Amino acid sequence: MPPAVCPPRAVLLAALSALALAACAPADDETATRSEPTASSGGSAAPSDECAPDQLPLLEPGQLTIATDDPAYPPWFLRDDPTNGKGYESAVAYAVAQELGFSEDQVEWVTVPFNASYQPGPKDFDFDINQISITPQRADAVTFSRGYYSAAQAVITLADSPYADAASLGELADATIGAQVGTTSLAAVTDVIQPSRDPAVYDDTNAATKALENGQVDVIVADLPSAFFITAAVLDAGTIAGQFQPTTGETEQFGLLLEKGNPLVGCLDTTLDALERDGTLARLENRWLSDTVDVPELT
């Protein structure tokens, strides 16, 4: 989801995060409007279409209510502000809205903590976008759209750590590993890495990163784009030791999350299909997320 003047890694460095980091964003990112990434799609739903705005089963008629967490971290959101259309998930949300026929002022953002998003029960949003991996366990309680992003897990450590040169997951067996509670990153630690000691569990990736910086853990695990941001703009001497896939060997998918059985999912799937076909998802990924080619695979 790349401007010619700024490679994806520099975009990460430009992000101002909820951690109060300050940097200068590229000029074209400052002036881009929220609808800019999908200007070509033009909100294609026809008035008679079952996916037209007035036909959708929405929480509030004429309004698309989208949820995410607070803080909202880079590179998924910039400046802890999902409404500005900057960052991959903010841009995807507005691309979905535009394809469905909603203007930016018809989009309302609400705050839902990550761990609460996939709990069973009624939802006060139409969909949630927050790096929520599609898993069978979560799908028992909520409904997911098709995936909009494929993510690997990454091992983050300090440059002078003995684990910085790890060539395999087996070499992490004796490491003290941290991860955010309720995430597939934490599940990947216990199920894939299987360290000899229980992982340290933190409320958010910010706390896990602080623990790494303070020497309380040897490594932390997070999704790969977040790892690029952490090592580029948060840790002074951080490095990505490598990336790995879940136990199935298939790339993990992030999906839009809805209340269980919400029929809106059909229109969201159709919309994401269209955004994939016309190259919007790829353009947004290239623009906002970092290239993973040079990160070694750990097996």
Per residue in 58-91, pLDDT (tens digit) is: 999 999 999 999 999 999 999 999 999 999 999 9
| Cα end-to-end distance, the chain, whole Å | 28
pLDDT of residue 81: 98
Identify whether 225 is preceded by a cis peptide bond (ω within 30 of 0): no
DSSP secondary-structure letter at 259?
A: E
Closest CA to 292 of 245, 243, 252, 250: 243
Running along the chain, 299 residues long, what does each successive block of 10 average in pLDDT? 38 36 35 36 51 96 97 95 98 98 98 96 98 94 97 95 96 98 94 96 95 98 94 94 80 94 98 98 92 81
pLDDT of amino acid 35: 39
- pLDDT, position 293: 60
The reported pLDDT for the residue numbered 252 is 85
125: amino acid identity, one letter: F
Which residue segments constitute the domains of the chain, with CATH numbers given? 8-25+49-150+253-288 (3.40.190.10), 153-244 (3.40.190.10)
Predicted confidence at residue 28, as pLDDT, reads 40
Q: In the beta sheet, which residues pair with residue 208? A: none
**pLDDT computed for residue 227 by the predictor:** 95
Q: How many residues does the chain have?
A: 299
Tokens 């990160």 sit on residue: 295
